[in-house]
Structure formats: C-alpha cells, structure tokens
C-alpha cells in the first residue's frame, strides 16, 4: 500500500491542454474519488496514474517513487475499467490468473490467490464460466477480482458502476466500500456521479475543466463548498441559487433579490454592502410554511413524491426553487405558500468570481 | 374422460388444415412463397450447371457432338494421366503456399493498418487496390514484370550486379511456379488484410490496456488477446481464401497458360484446356468434378472452424 502524490500535473493533446497543473495528495489506505462532469479530465488523470497516458508536465509518484517514465506493469497498480475489460475467451479463473501467469507465478500460488479472491467476492461458483455467461454485477466482481489477485499498492477504478442498473449500482457501491474497509488498499475512483462520490469517498476531489475545484471530505464539500461550481455539483437535488445584492443591517446580513425578496444570510458572511452576490440554499434547508407566515412567497409548480422525501418545485420571483420535505403535504400545482430558509444553512457567493464569501 | 380428450384432439386436427390454407396468415406458406424466386435463380444458375457438369463428366461429349454415357471411363483415364496428377500437385502447392503467405502477410498488414497512422483512411483504401484491379489487367502487368527480356526485376538485379543473365521467370518450371504464386499472393493480400482489420477493430482497446497493466508484453498481448479473439474471423477469411485460390484460373491463364511443361497447370486451367481448346468436353468436365472433393473438405473444415466457440456462447453483448 502506498500514498500517491500528484504534483503540478499537466496533460496536453497536441497543443490543446486538458489538465492544467493539478496537485492532489492521496494518503496511504485512503479512498479518494475524483468527480466532475464529463470532459473535466478526471479519467485522463486516472489513466496518467495508471501509465496508459503519458504525462505532459509535472510529477506523479506512487509510494514515494516518481513513476512518470515507469511502464504500467511496474507501477504496481491494478485498474478496474468501465466496460470491465474481461478477456472474453478466458474463464473467470483464467481472467483472474492472467497477470500472475504472465509473471510466471507458481501454479499453487496462482490457485491459492485466485481462490482467495473468488472467496472474498463470492465468485467461487463461477470460476469455470466465461464472462458472457455472467450478469453485469458478476462481471464487475470478476474485474475487481482480477485487481485483488495482484495485491497491488493502488487500485484504480474508472467509472466501474456506470454500466450497471440503478439497483445493482447501489449494491456494488456498498460492496466496493466494504472491500476497501477490509483490504485497506489505497484506492482512486473516478465517477461523474456525485452520489457515488459522497457515499464512498474518504476524500473527494472535485474537478472541472482540467482544474481541481475543491478537495475535502464529503460533508466538508456539502456543508462548505468553496465556490458556485462545487455548490451546484455536490448534492442532489441541486442547491437553489438566487442572484441579489448584499445588505447589512446591524449584525444581520441579508441578500436582497429581485422583486424585493429577502434571503437571510448566515452570520459571518464577508463582503460589502451592495455587492453583487449569489445566494444558495439546499432544498432540504427550505421549510414549507403556510401563506400566512413570514418567508419567501412561492407558487407550487410541480410536486415529486419519492417516498422518503417529497420534492416541491415552486416559482419564487422569476426563479424556480426546489424544497425537499419529509412531511406529506397535500399540495396542488398553483397553490401559494411560503418557503422559510434555515438562516445558518445559507451560502453566499461572490457573483463575479463565484467564490464563497 | 380419456375418450373425450382424444376426440377433441381429433376435432382440432381436422380444423387445422382449413386454417393453414389461409395464406396470408400462415408464416410457413408465406415464407415458402417469398423464397421461390431466389430458389429458382439458385436452381437455374447453380444447381443445373453443376448437375450438367457432373453428367458431362460421365459422357464422351466433344465440341459439336453430343456424347454417350460412358460411366467412369473418363475418371479411369485421368487416374493414369500424369499431366492430371501434375495439375493436382500444382493446385495443392499453389493453394497451400499462397494461402499461408496471404495469411501471414495479410495479418501483418492488418496489424500495421490498425495502428494510429497519418492518412489512415487513405492508406486503407490504397491497400484494396490490387483487389479492385481486374485480374486480367494485373496479370498482364505481372507478365511484363516476369518477361524474359524486359523484366524490371531482372533489369534491376543486373544493374545491382547480383545476376549476370536475365531470370527466365515464366520459362523455368520452378521459377514459373514461384512467380504465379507470388502474383496470386499480391492479389489476395488485400482481401485477407481488410477483413482481418475489420476483425481487429472489434477488439475493444480496453482489453489491451487491461493486458498492459496485467504486465503483458506486445507479443503476449498479440498471443493472448488479439489472436484468440481473431480466430473466428480467421476461419472465415481463410476458408474463402483457400476456395478462391484453389479455383484460380485467370491469373494462370494470362501468365503461363499452364506452361512451361504443364508446371503451372492447375486443375481449373487443365479442365478448361482439355474441354474447350482440346474439344473434349466430357474429360474437361470430369477434371472439374474431381475438384469437388477438395472443395468439400475445405468447406467442412470451415464448418467446424466457424462453429461458435464456447466463450462466444450466452449473453447478449
């Protein structure tokens, strides 16, 4: 097991730079998720760590050893691919044994290691099958088994769950996390799904356009996003945003939106009176109240019951806001009500730079 | 009770034919109807000539004279005909040597073309050229290349000081055999290369990446990933390649007409020579018929080669 240090790493395809000097420290035994919208460079970064893409600038070291010029097989990493990349003409056993065979490991060692991995992943019954005869979830487990057998210093996962259906994805998510808790191998996991990132990661690296936007634990990112991008990307349903100007009234801070809407900002917000800002509030932090109470006047547009939660989409001024509630109100479209934001849960961002104030 | 169900069954069986005759509703009858035109074409242009050939082989038909049934006399004659046996040997040599060369070079070319090359599409198109040019034309070009006096090969080798006399490419039996095989290989490579290239492109790149991370060298990636995944398409390509080569006619006919001293006579050219210029239609047909067992065994080989391997079974992707 090892730490992975990424220092000022750049990647350019021809003259087109896609990763602009990234720094990330990944500690020993950590489970780090690289997350971002498609095209943000997260897969490219993972492939550079694996050695499948040459590094255009900067340094990547694994376990203290700079690996820029080290071929993939000598980096002591294992990778799980999005499409599993199982060898279709080999049985499950042979798929898992392939790397050991190439290293001329002894037969008894191969047998023992493969059986052990199969046991961990509940694949013992399927060792004689071919990949085509397995379900998606089983194939995914074989792909992980192939990685486990090698006992590498680092596991790399490239969107491993995106080919599975929703239910299986949730199940495999838990399995991967449990596997990490058991093996404690440093893991780097790429996904575009922020829920996967939130649920699995010790540390999340949010990427956007080849830059790192924020690094932190899931709850840090959720509670204190450093900028508008992270605020909008992390959390589902997404945070509500309202444009406005900062107003100070003694100790209290407000954001004054269009149409005389007043959003209560949390205490301690920096920024000057009258500054252009964006106020953000998560759907779960908006309480539904009757039209008689104090709050933001709103008109119900769509109600989405999910069972645990009910999402209420309302028109607030000229924007649409989403409120999530665990209570079950008999709401109808066009009904008028008030949304009451939790004061300490509001976020204020500078409208020009997008940075948190 | 028993009697009741039985009679019911009989009653439904009686009702069935009436339904079957409603053509529009019966998949079987409609299927048969739609198949008829194609079947007629096949019968008229494939089955009839084949049957006629087999029949002619058992007659002493000559050009301009209807023959009589003579049983297997033609075949008995061929059995003791050394020219016929030479042509069988030539055909086998020609097929085996050319097919192996076409496979090796075609696979190599396909692997090269599968890389990221500049002007990839253009290069792939160029490779098809030998296959697009009519055989007769390319044969004439080879005829010049192999000419005893004006051969560009002889000329180049002389200039380089490697030989003193022109090589008699088409006049010497050994040279002639090698020359026609090389011409056939040149012509046949594109088919093998392009088809194998199509096969190569169905192999997902992530398999190579997985193998690279697993520690496979380029040779091991070919040996354990590319080759096994390509076997189904290799079976198809090589079957067709063997069939085309075994029945080749044009190239030989333009280049050597079977000479010198029958050294390049293939069964197809010998059959034509005996039947049309020689006038012995019956004997020519008999030679053609003797090709059938060879071709059938090639087809059987492909039948077993083409069967889906176990790893291709099951699943839907």
Query: Smallest Cα–Cα separation from B287: which of B278, B232, B224, A61?
Result: B278
Per-residue pLDDT, averaged over A191-220, amounts to: 93
Nearest chain B Cα distance for residue A324, angstroms: 40
Name the DSSP class of B172: S
Instruction: Check residue B310 and give its pLDDT.
Output: 67
% of chain A exceeding 90 in pLDDT = 61
Tell me the pLDDT tens digit for each residue of A181-199.
998 999 999 999 989 999 9
Identify the band that residue B3 occupies on the pLDDT scale cut at 50, 70 and 90: very low
Give pLDDT tens digits for A22-34: 999 999 999 999 9
The phi, psi pair for A30, rounded to 5°, reads -80, 150
8 Å CB contact of B314 and A77: no
Question: Which residues of chain B make contact with A51, given a CB cutoff of 8 A?
Answer: 212-213
State phi, psi for B282 to the nearest 5 degrees.
-60, -50
Rg of chain A's alpha carbons, rounded to an integer?
24
- Of the candidates B209, B215, B310, the beta carbon closest to that of A85 is on B209
Quick check: A99 and B215 CB within 8 A? yes
Give the whole-angstrom CA distance, residue B42 versus residue B98. 31
- When pLDDT is cut at 50, 70 and 90, the band that residue A1 belongs to is low
- pLDDT at position A221 is 93
Please say whether the dihedral angle defined by the alpha carbons of residues B274, B276, B277 and B280, taken in this order, is positive or negative.
positive
Is pLDDT at B45 greater than 50 in this prediction? yes
**Cα-based distances in Å from A89 to B223, B228, B229:** 12, 7, 7
Predicted local confidence at residue B316, as pLDDT: 45
Q: Does pLDDT of A214 surpass 90? A: yes
* pLDDT at residue B14 greater than cutoff 80: no
Check if the beta carbon of residue B170 is closer than 8 Å to that of residue B179: yes
State yes or no: pLDDT of A244 exceeds 80: yes
Query: For residue range A280-339, what is the model confidence (pLDDT) as tens digits?
Result: 999 999 998 888 888 899 999 999 998 888 999 999 988 899 999 988 888 888 889 999
Closest Cβ–Cβ partner in B207, B209, B215 for A103: B215
Q: For residue range A46-74, what is the model confidence (pLDDT) as tens digits?
A: 999 999 999 999 999 999 899 999 999 88
Return the residue of A nearest to B213 by Cα. Answer: A73
- CA–CA separation, B245 vs A46, rounded Å? 50
Return the closest-CA partner of residue A289 out of A261, A331, A242.
Answer: A331
Global ipTM: 0.83
H/E element, A61: strand A57-62
Q: Which of A49-53, A228-232, A267-271 has the lowest mean pLDDT?
A: A267-271
When CB atoms are compared, the residue of B220, B225, B313 closest to A87 is B225
> How far does B117 lie from chain A, in Å, by closest CA?
15
A205: left (phi over 0), alpha (psi -120 to 50) or beta: beta
CB contact under 8 Å between A133 and B314, yes or no, is: yes
Domain annotation for chain B: domains and CATH numbers:
81-316 (1.10.3720.10)
CA distance B264 to B260: 7
pLDDT at B1 over 50: no
**Average pLDDT over every residue of A69-88:** 91
Q: Can you tell me the mean pLDDT for B48-56?
A: 92
Evaluate if residue B7 carries a pLDDT over 60: no
Minimum-distance CB partner of A73 among B204, B212, B310: B212
pLDDT at B8: 54
Closest CA to B98 of B186, B190, B176, B171: B186
Cα B183 from Cα A65, distance rounded (Å): 56
Answer whether residue B154 shows pLDDT above 90: no
What is the secondary structure of B67-94 as a DSSP string? --B-TTHHHHHHHT-HHHHHHHHHHHHH
Rounded to the nearest angstrom, the minimum Cα separation between A207 and chain B is 24
């Amino acid at each position: 097991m090892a730490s992975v240090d990424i220092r000022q790493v750049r990647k350019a395809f021809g003259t087109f730079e896609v990763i602009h000097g990234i720094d990330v420290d990944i500690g020993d035994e950590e489970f780090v998720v690289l997350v971002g919208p498609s095209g943000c460079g997260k897969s490219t970064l993972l492939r550079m760590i694996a050695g499948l893409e040459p590094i255009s600038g900067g340094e990547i070291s694994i376990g203290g050893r700079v690996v820029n010029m080290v071929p993939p097989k000598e980096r002591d990493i294992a990778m799980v691919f999005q499409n599993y990349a199982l060898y279709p003409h080999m049985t499950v056993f042979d798929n898992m044994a392939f790397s050991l065979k190439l290293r001329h490991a002894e037969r008894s060692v191969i047998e023992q290691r493969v059986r052990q991995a199969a046991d961990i992943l509940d694949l013992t019954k399927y060792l004689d099958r071919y990949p085509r005869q397995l379900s998606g979830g089983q194939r995914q487990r074989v792909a992980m088994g192939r990685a486990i057998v090698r006992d590498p210093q680092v596991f790399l996962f490239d969107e491993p769950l995106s080919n599975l259906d929703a239910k299986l994805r949730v199940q495999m998510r838990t399995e991967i996390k449990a596997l990490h808790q058991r093996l404690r191998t440093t893991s780097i996991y790429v996904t575009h799904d922020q829920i996967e990132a939130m649920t699995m990661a010790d540390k999340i690296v949010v990427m956007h356009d080849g830059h790192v936007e924020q690094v932190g634990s899931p709850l840090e990112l959720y509670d204190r996003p450093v900028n508008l991008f992270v605020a909008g990307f992390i959390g589902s349903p997404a945070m509500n945003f309202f444009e406005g100007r900062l107003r100070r009234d003694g100790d209290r801070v407000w954001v004054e939106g269009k149409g005389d809407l007043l959003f209560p900002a949390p205490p301690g917000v920096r920024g000057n009176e009258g500054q252009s800002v964006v106020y953000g509030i998560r759907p779960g932090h908006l309480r539904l109240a009757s039209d008689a109470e104090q709050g933001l006047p709103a008109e119900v547009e769509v109600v989405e019951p999910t069972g645990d939660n009910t999402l209420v989409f309302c028109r607030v001024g000229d924007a649409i806001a989403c409120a999530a509630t665990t209570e079950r109100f008999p709401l109808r479209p066009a009904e008028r009500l008030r949304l009451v934001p939790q004061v300490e849960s509001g976020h204020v961002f500078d409208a020009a730079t997008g940075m948190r104030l | 009770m028993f009697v009741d169900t039985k009679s019911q069954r009989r009653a439904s069986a009686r009702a069935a034919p009436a339904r079957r005759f409603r053509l529009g509703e019966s998949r079987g009858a409609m299927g048969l109807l739609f198949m008829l035109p194609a079947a007629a074409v096949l019968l008229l242009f494939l089955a009839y000539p084949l049957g006629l050939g087999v029949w002619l082989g058992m007659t002493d038909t000559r050009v301009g004279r209807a023959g009589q049934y003579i049983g297997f006399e033609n075949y008995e004659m061929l059995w003791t005909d050394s020219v016929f046996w030479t042509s069988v040997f030539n055909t086998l040599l020609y097929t085996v040597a050319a097919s192996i060369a076409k496979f090796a070079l075609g696979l190599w070319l396909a692997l090269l073309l599968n890389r990221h090359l500049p002007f990839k599409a253009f290069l792939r198109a160029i490779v098809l050229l030998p296959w697009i040019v009519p055989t007769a034309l390319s044969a004439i070009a080879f005829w010049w290349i192999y000419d005893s006096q004006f051969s560009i090969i002889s000329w180049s080798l002389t200039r380089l000081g490697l030989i003193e006399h022109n090589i008699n490419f088409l006049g010497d039996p050994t040279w002639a055999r090698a020359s026609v095989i090389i011409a056939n290989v040149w012509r046949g490579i594109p088919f093998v290369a392009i088809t194998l290239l199509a096969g190569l492109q169905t192999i997902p790149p992530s398999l190579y990446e997985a193998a690279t991370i697993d520690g496979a060298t380029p040779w091991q990636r070919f040996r354990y990933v590319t080759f096994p995944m390509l076997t189904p398409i290799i079976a198809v390509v090589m079957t067709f390649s063997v069939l085309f080569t075994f029945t080749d006619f044009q190239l030989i006919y333009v280049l050597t007409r079977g000479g010198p001293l029958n050294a390049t006579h293939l069964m197809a050219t010998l059959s034509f020579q005996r039947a049309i210029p020689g006038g012995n239609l019956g004997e020519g047909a008999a030679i053609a018929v003797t090709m059938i067992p060879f071709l059938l065994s090639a087809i059987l080989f492909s039948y077993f080669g083409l069967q889906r391997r176990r790893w291709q079974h099951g699943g839907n992707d």
